[in-house]
Amino acid sequence: MIEFIRNLSAFLVALGILIAVHEFGHFWVARRCGVYVERFSIGFGKSLWRRVGKDGTEYTLAMIPLGGYVKMLDERVEEVPAEKRHMAFNNKKLWQRSAIVAAGPLANFLFAIFAYWVVYLIGVPALKPVIGEVVPQSIAAQAGITPGMELKSVSGIETSDWESANMAMVSHIGDKTMQITATEPNSDVVVSRTLDLSHWSYDPESQQVLNTLGIMPYRPAITLNVAQLVDNSAAVDAGFKLNDKIVAIDKKPVTEWQQFVDAVRTHPDQQLSVKVLRDGQPVMLSLVPHSKVEPDGSKIGYVGLAPSIEPWPESYKINLQFGPLEAVVKATEKTKQLVTLTFDMVTKLFTGDVAIKNLSGPISIAKGAGMTADFGLVYFLGFLALISVNLGIVNLLPLPVLDGGHLMFFAIEAVTRRPVSERIQDIGYRVGSAILVALMAVALFNDFTRL
């Protein structure tokens, strides 16, 4: 329940900010173009709070926080007094109407730049994209990628950390090749490699892009020393203590952590004889792993302990922090990468290269908002930037109920020299609404299946 409230609160904060940004874009440009704005509303339905400003605009916070709107004076909607007709939206020049409509998505893109600017001013810790392992016979192995290489770019996109590398790779869904530049292990020599993606199978819902290519990021070595113990666990019952070093199971030497994991998982409710070193002295423990049932119905063992991990080499750590001017450049580049990736994903969603099951709705967004809010301000801002870019791109889709649909009608008007008839627009709104509702239904269905 607490997690639900946390996620919901973070979701409402994120949604409120992004809606306000989007609608303010419309509002600000409309005012600059001389259009009279009657109402600026965050949310729909019954008003929870309202105030009439000195400019005559009613500012409203409504009950249903799933959108917002800017109500402008418009003769197509209601009768306008003769003395105010020059302030009506429909009487403005085509370029002004287009600018007002486009200002919403543009505000979302500008907000993403601002959010990333703040992130880069504060600084965010990251790790260099150094490759730890390459799966034999994988796509990466066949391309000549080797352990120890540090990724520098993916198809021309700079990859200073693993997040940017992942995003650049995901954008290649449906492509035939991927161009990678990297430095050779323990060298500054930059080499280029071409990955053949003709047989690449990648499901964003259940797989990590790096794994499907056969790339394993570098991770510090996992030791055999016990670092954490869970209360009332099998490990505690067996007598494990912190700093114990596991050296053997059933008289077989253990040299890697995965050997211990495999032995535990394959022996649920079965006794194992474990030899540990405690303060340099051998101690024998009788361990009976508890069992749990996997989604496929199989039973595995677990004991409730975790090992210590070697520290990260300092040379692998980076802090993405820049001065005010450089942060603007980096934030703009990051937003451009997000816009390109999102546009590609939307396009590939319609072409079938990305499955419809990968479409996410408000529940997934709420979970993401809650998780990033827990991590801290810079991560929450990064999440806001991501969703803001997505909101901007979606609103530019050529569906009549969205900003992109209005811009499409304006483009037709620019060519034909006359407005699209109200009858055609009405049909377009009906079709667009049906498509949008269908997409939302699919997104919600996908959300529920992920719960």
Question: Which tens digit of pLDDT belongs to each residue from 392-431?
Answer: 988 898 888 889 988 998 999 899 988 888 888 788 778 7
Question: Which tens digit of pLDDT belongs to each residue from 172-211?
Answer: 887 889 999 999 988 889 999 999 998 888 776 667 888 8
Predicted local distance difference test score (pLDDT) of residue 435: 74
Task: Judge contact between 403 and 104, C-beta under 8 A.
Answer: yes
Question: Which tens digit of pLDDT belongs to each residue from 25-57?
Answer: 999 999 999 999 999 998 888 888 989 888 889
Q: What is the dihedral of CA 40, 41, 47, 49, to 10 degrees?
A: -70
362 has a pLDDT exceeding 60? no
Residue 153 pairs in a beta bridge with 158, 181
CA 307 to chain centre: 30
- Find tokens 């509702």 and name the residue: 437
379 has a pLDDT exceeding 90? no
- Find tokens 């967004």 and name the residue: 365
Domain with residues 124-219+311-320, CATH architecture: Roll (2.30)
163 has a pLDDT exceeding 90? no
pTM: 0.78
Predicted local distance difference test score (pLDDT) of residue 363: 46
Predicted local distance difference test score (pLDDT) of residue 361: 45
Mean pLDDT value across residues 136-140: 93
Q: Residue 156: left (phi > 0), alpha (psi -120 to 50), or beta?
A: left
Predicted local distance difference test score (pLDDT) of residue 124: 86
Range(s) within the chain of domains with CATH label 2.30.42.10: 124-219+311-320, 222-310
Domain with residues 222-310, CATH architecture: Roll (2.30)
Q: Alpha helices, DSSP H only, in 180-226?
A: 209-213
Predicted local distance difference test score (pLDDT) of residue 369: 47
Predicted local distance difference test score (pLDDT) of residue 367: 47
Q: What are phi and psi of 123, to 5 degrees?
A: 100, 140
Known catalytic residue: 23? yes
- Find tokens 């239904």 and name the residue: 441
Number of H helices, E strands in the chain: 12, 18
DSSP label of 91? G
Confidence class for position 75, pLDDT limits 50, 70, 90: confident
Q: How far is 33 from 56, CA to CA, in rounded Å?
A: 16
20 has a pLDDT exceeding 60? yes
**Pick from 346, 443, 360: which is nearest to 397 by CA?**
346
83 has a pLDDT exceeding 50? yes
Q: How far is 145 from 208, CA to CA, in rounded Å?
A: 18
Question: Which tens digit of pLDDT belongs to each residue from 274-316?
Answer: 999 999 899 999 999 999 888 778 899 999 999 999 999 888 9
Candidate list 3, 23, 133, 413, residue with the active-site label: 23
Mean pLDDT value across residues 251-269: 93
Q: What is the mean pLDDT of the chain?
A: 85
Q: How far is 374 from 261, CA to CA, in rounded Å?
A: 30
Residue 159 pairs in a beta bridge with none
